[in-house]
Amino acid sequence: MAGRHFNVAAGGYPKSRSPIFLFTVSILALSFFYFIFSSFSSTSNPTHTFPVTHSLNSKVDCSFVVSLEKFLTSSSVRQGSTSLRDDTVDRVSEEDVKKLDDSIWKTENRRLYEDTFYPSAASPLKVYVYEMPSKFTYDLLWLFRNTYKETSNLTSNGSPVHRLIEQHSIDYWLWADLIAPESERLLKNVVRVHKQEEADVFYIPFFTTISFFLLEKQQCKALYREALKWVTEQPAWNRSEGRDHILPVHHPWSFKSVRRLMKKAIWLLPDMDSTGNWYKPGQVYLEKDLILPYVPNVELCDSKCLSESWSKRTTLLFFRGRLKRNAGGKIRAKLVEELRSSEGVVIEEGTAGEGGKTAAQIGMRKSVFCLSPAGDTPSSARLFDAIVSGCIPVIVSDELELPFEGILNYRKIALFVSSSDALESGWLINFLRSISSSQIRDLQMNLAKYSRHFLYSHPAQPLGPEDLSWRMIAGKLVNIKLHTQRSQRVVKGSRSVCTCDCRHPNSTTSGPSS
């Protein structure tokens, strides 16, 4: 018989294997079976680990009501508590404007030769905050604080007034951070200066949304006129005609009666309606103004929440909101008619009140996709509710402009669908069902990373919406200085007209992110 033979008499038994060798073989065998079992388990019961979302400690407030209460009762930011006074003036003369212009030229000339990065965004943005009379600032904040608990006022379309103010409270979040003691601030790319000649831009701390909703109509219009007069009499305004001034008008109704007289300022907006219902032609455009997100109406679904809710997202598409809207928002009723009977779709009528907040939060956390159609304007607050809920937004708004799009890529967190495609029978549901599980996972992972960019807070956090706002404004500086200095030497009434008005209509292409 061929093969190896052992002579028993000669002690031909093979020698015993080393214990170390046997132990190693056993470990390898166990590892092999464990790998097979783990692979089978992960296939049958997949687990999803989301990136850790930016954690906020207990000292950080994301609630407007909670933060405002602390702000108004805090000694460090109480009115007039700053030890270094600003040089805001009550009246202006031509001599004041000339003096300021000379001082600014000297400051800019020095920075040009001493700062390698000037005037790029690498340098901290220097913001001068006007010390406006309290009737434009603190009095309005106190008015909100003293009425929101007892008031259940509704707008003409049924939305709770105080909740609308919260959604558009970007003016509070930016101002509260700017005037906080420097030792308490976390943002390093923007600093407050107390001399106008040192400023890159000027912030107007007027709460236009609170005044619109909580004051009587004639009282509000009178206050608007007073604010207009106060601001336009400042030397810095007259020097630049407002080009380097920041005006928060985040609700499309706010400051509407007089804002045309401040159209050269940088407007902080929720979107850019091109229908003419809210903004007249030539008043708003991307190169001049800035889109800021609404304040979310729901709580953040953090990485733990996202992991736990993964298996519970059994609804394909969710929408909760007002179904009948004006202007571009009329598409909502048409979408409801198209989608209501579709399997896996939940559509609910509701507003932004407390009950609506809870219902929206539960619905979004149970859904893979969240419908975000146009409202009365191209934008909608539920887009940002969906983002912080980990629900992939399906945006049906052909003329929508988005916050911080010079920094963020929304195609990595949302799906964009044209109105014509969305209204085609069966198209939208078939499109959503065609999105692969890997694409869904990628979008949800990116949502987890992006959520921090839409959470207003005090103190303002790095990479939060306040931070990105100042980064975007810093990117406009060279253009602001160009048009300011050019306007000072061009002959008035000449044909040398220059505008950066972006009039090309926005268009949406349907399809998954790439």
Residue 74: how many CB atoms within 10 A of its CB? Answer: 14
Give the pLDDT confidence score for residue 297 in this predicted structure: 92
Least confident of 26-35, 67-76, 395-404: 26-35
Paired with 125 in beta bridges are: 190
Does 127 or 310 have the greater pLDDT score? 127
Give the pLDDT confidence score for residue 496 in this predicted structure: 58
Two structure tokens written together for 422: 């969305």
Q: What would the 3-class secondary structure string for 442-499 be?
A: HHHHHHHHHHHHHCCCECCCCCCHHHHHHHHHHCCHHHHHHHHHHHCCCCCCCCCCCC
Alpha helices in 272-330 (DSSP H): 303-309
Give the pLDDT confidence score for residue 314 in this predicted structure: 95
Contact of 458 with 60, CB cutoff 8 Å: yes
Spatial CB neighbours of 374, under 8 Å, sequence gap ≥ 6: 325, 327, 328, 329, 331, 332, 380, 396, 397, 398, 399, 400
Give the pLDDT confidence score for residue 54 in this predicted structure: 58
How much is the average pLDDT of 127-140? 97
How much is the average pLDDT of 427-447? 96
Give the pLDDT confidence score for residue 12 in this predicted structure: 42
- Under the banding of pLDDT at 50, 70 and 90, the label for residue 74 is confident
Chain mean pLDDT for the chain: 83
Least confident of 34-38, 43-47, 155-159, 421-425: 43-47
pLDDT at 37 over 80: no
Contact of 357 with 298, CB cutoff 8 Å: yes
Two structure tokens written together for 407: 């920094």
Give the chain's radius of gyration (CA, Å).
29
Q: What is the pLDDT of residues 170-189, one digit of tens each?
A: 999 999 999 999 999 999 99
- Under the banding of pLDDT at 50, 70 and 90, the label for residue 38 is very low
pLDDT at 240 over 50: yes
pLDDT at 152 over 90: no
Local structure of 15: helix, strand or coil: coil
For tokens 């975007």, name the residue. 472
Residue 352: how many CB atoms within 10 A of its CB? Answer: 24
Give the pLDDT confidence score for residue 341 in this predicted structure: 85
Task: Name which of 224, 168, 228, 234 is nearest 202 in CA terms.
Answer: 234
Percent with pLDDT over 90 in the chain: 56
Give the pLDDT confidence score for residue 356 in this predicted structure: 80
Contact of 58 with 66, CB cutoff 8 Å: no
Per-residue CA distances from 289 to 201, 282, 292, 404, 479 (Å): 13, 11, 10, 11, 12
Contact of 447 with 367, CB cutoff 8 Å: no
Alpha helices in 148-201 (DSSP H): 161-167, 170-179
Contact of 407 with 318, CB cutoff 8 Å: no
Cis peptide before 119 (omega within 30 of 0): yes
How much is the average pLDDT of 188-213? 95
Angstrom distance (rounded) from CA 189 to CA 187:
6
Amino acid at 36: I
Spatial CB neighbours of 83, under 8 Å, sequence gap ≥ 6: none
Contact of 290 with 335, CB cutoff 8 Å: no
For tokens 């001034």, name the residue. 245
Least confident of 41-45, 237-241, 245-249, 318-322: 41-45
Q: What is the pLDDT of residues 379-432, one digit of tens each?
A: 888 999 999 999 999 999 888 999 999 999 999 999 999 999 999 999 999 999
Contact of 332 with 348, CB cutoff 8 Å: no
- Most confident region among 11-20, 159-168, 203-212, 483-492 by mean pLDDT: 203-212
- Under the banding of pLDDT at 50, 70 and 90, the label for residue 222 is very high
Q: What is the pLDDT of residues 303-342, one digit of tens each?
A: 889 989 888 999 999 999 887 766 555 788 889 888 988 9
Q: What is the pLDDT of residues 472-497, one digit of tens each?
A: 999 999 999 999 999 888 887 766 55
For tokens 């008499």, name the residue. 9
For tokens 């040398």, name the residue. 496
For tokens 């008031």, name the residue. 151
Contact of 410 with 404, CB cutoff 8 Å: no
- Under the banding of pLDDT at 50, 70 and 90, the label for residue 7 is very low
Q: What would the 3-class secondary structure string for 73-118 be?
A: HCCCCCCCCCCCCCCCCCCCCHHHHHHHHHHHHHHHHHHHHHCCCC
Contact of 230 with 90, CB cutoff 8 Å: no
pLDDT at 58 over 80: no
Does 504 or 433 have the greater pLDDT score? 433
How much is the average pLDDT of 251-260? 91
Does 278 or 454 have the greater pLDDT score? 454
pLDDT at 5 over 50: no
pLDDT at 216 over 90: yes
Q: What would the 3-class secondary structure string for 377-429 be?
A: CCCCCHHHHHHHHCCEEEEECCCCCCCCCCCCCHHHCCEECCHHHHCCCCHHH
Give the pLDDT confidence score for residue 380 in this predicted structure: 86
Long-range CB contacts for residues 178-182, cutoff 8 Å, separation at least 24: 178/127, 178/129, 178/203, 179/77, 179/82, 179/129, 180/76, 180/77, 180/458, 180/459, 181/76, 181/77
Least confident of 141-155, 432-446, 456-470: 141-155
DSSP H or E stretch at residue 369: strand 367-373
Q: What is the pLDDT of residues 260-303, one digit of tens each?
A: 999 999 999 999 876 667 888 888 999 999 999 999 999 999 88
Contact of 171 with 270, CB cutoff 8 Å: no
Give the pLDDT confidence score for residue 130 in this predicted structure: 97
- Under the banding of pLDDT at 50, 70 and 90, the label for residue 2 is very low
Give the pLDDT confidence score for residue 110 in this predicted structure: 84
How much is the average pLDDT of 52-77? 79
Percent with pLDDT over 70 in the chain: 76
Two structure tokens written together for 136: 């434009």
DSSP H or E stretch at residue 269: strand 266-269
Give the pLDDT confidence score for residue 167 in this predicted structure: 93
DSSP H or E stretch at residue 35: helix 19-44
Least confident of 137-141, 242-246, 474-478: 474-478
Per-residue CA distances from 455 to 300, 327, 362, 458, 459 (Å): 8, 29, 19, 10, 11
